[in-house]
Structure 1
Amino acid sequence: MTLTMRTELFKNIPFAQALDLAGLVDYEPGRVVSRTLAQQPTANVTLFSFAAGEGISTHTSPGDALVLVLDGQAQVTIGDATHTVGAGQAIAMPSGVPHGLEAEEPFKMLLVVVKPPKA
């Protein structure tokens, strides 16, 4: 079998094996921990863990964002609405709309941000 050279788009994870995504980031008291899995001009994929009470302050993004909750529960604010999301749920946040989140309890998520290509 001939192997061809290729550039891996994902990093910080092994290929060709089942992964426990929540197990790839640990909880740390009073901290937010992140692990970047992909960072490209049109897409970012990052794992996060949040200690209870920690969060991400309100901000906007140039791309649409999808939060997939792996563990715990958080309050996610999008515009003027606040949503409670828990393990197994996902919530999408449109680009340009202010959003942020706060962990109600220890909380882990996979964040996928998809951005338009630069003109």
Structure 2
Amino acid sequence: MLKSKHIFSIAKDNAPVEGCTVSEKVLQGGACSMIVFSIAAGTNISPESYDHPKIWKIEEGSAEVLYLTAETQALRTGDIFIVPQNIPVGIRSKTGCIYSEILLDKECIMNDILKSAKVFALKDLLPYKDGKIVNMDLVDGDKTKFVIMAFDAGTGLSEHSAPGDAIIFCLDGEGIIGYEGKEYRIHEGENFKFDKNGKHYVKAEGKFKMALLLVRD
């Protein structure tokens, strides 16, 4: 499981094992969870179907979405894929790939911008605005929130407590995370974890984009 109070990289900490697929559950809250997968070059996970919503977030590398037909969809670092419900889908990689799978409660409300079976570049879903913080809820539910934020230089969030465990994904630029009395600089491709009730704040000295996944018990 992931530990708080330090900067880490999901991609660098989960390098593929030759000839293998490897998975680890890193976050759990009620019916929602996050699993990190690493797929070695030339390996795949066969198509399977699920009756609850899922999101794949590509942390590093490239892959293809597999269907039972000949159809495929390309995935690259920084992309998210909205896994369709009750349709068998799998994934394969020719060169190796690390991705996070976010399993959502059936009651979660997904933003209309996220269309099933579509690929999106996560950091391109919202713009920067001069002097402002731009926020978009991608998923909202009683037990889960998945949000992306764009901070202009000089903006930030004041100190507050997390109502559940949360993971930050730095999508662009550099930010400062204040957590339990200490500051941490986070860069694109890096991550940080908050424990439930952990006091934290966010500052942006330059332009900074992040995603946050929050799960509650």
TM-score bracket for this pair, using the shorter chain length: 0.7 to 0.9
Partner of 1:46: 147
Provide the C-alpha distance between the structure 2 equivalents of 1:78 and 1:39, rounded to a whole number of angstroms: 24
CA contact (8 A) 2:108 2:142 kept: no
Query: Please, what TM-score do these two structures have when normalized by structure 2?
Result: 0.49
Amino acid at match of 1:50: F
Structure 2 gaps of 5+ residues are 1-84, 87-105
Residue 14 of structure 1 corresponds to which residue in structure 2?
115
Which of 73, 90, 101 in structure 1 is aligned with 2:174? Answer: 73
Measured in 1, the distance between the counterparts of 2:107 and 2:162 equals 27
CA deviation map 1:6-50 (0-9, x unaligned)? 877422322212211110010000000011111111110011100
* Consecutive aligned runs of 4 or more in structure 1 exceeding 6 Å deviation: none
Cα distance in 2, alignment partners of residues 96 and 17 from structure 1? 35
Count the aligned residue pairs: 113
Of 120, 131, 156, 1:55 maps to 156
* Higher Cα radius of gyration: 2
The one-letter code of the counterpart of 2:153 is A
Native 8 Å contact 2:108 2:140 kept in 1: no
- Computed over aligned residues only, the root mean square deviation of the Cα atoms, in angstroms, reads 1.9
More strand, by proportion:
2
Indicate how the Cα distance of structure 1 residues 16 and 97 shifts in structure 2: closer, same or farther if over 3 A, else same: same
The amino acid of 2:158's aligned partner reads S
Q: Is the 8 A contact 2:108 2:144 kept in 1?
A: no
Alpha-carbon separation, structure 1, partners of 2:108 and 2:163: 24
For structure 1, the residue ranges without an aligned partner over 5 or more in a row are none
Distance 1:13 1:104 in 2: 30
- Please give the alpha-carbon distance, in whole angstroms, between the structure 2 residues aligned to 1:90 and 1:19: 20
Give CA deviations for 1:34-92 in whole Å, capped at 9, x if unaligned. Answer: 11111111110011100011111100021011110000101101101110001000100
In structure 1, how many angstroms separate the alpha carbons of the residues matched to 2:161 and 2:178?
A: 12
Which among 179, 202, 207 is matched to residue 106 of structure 1? 207
Q: Which residue of 2 aligns with 1:32?
A: 133
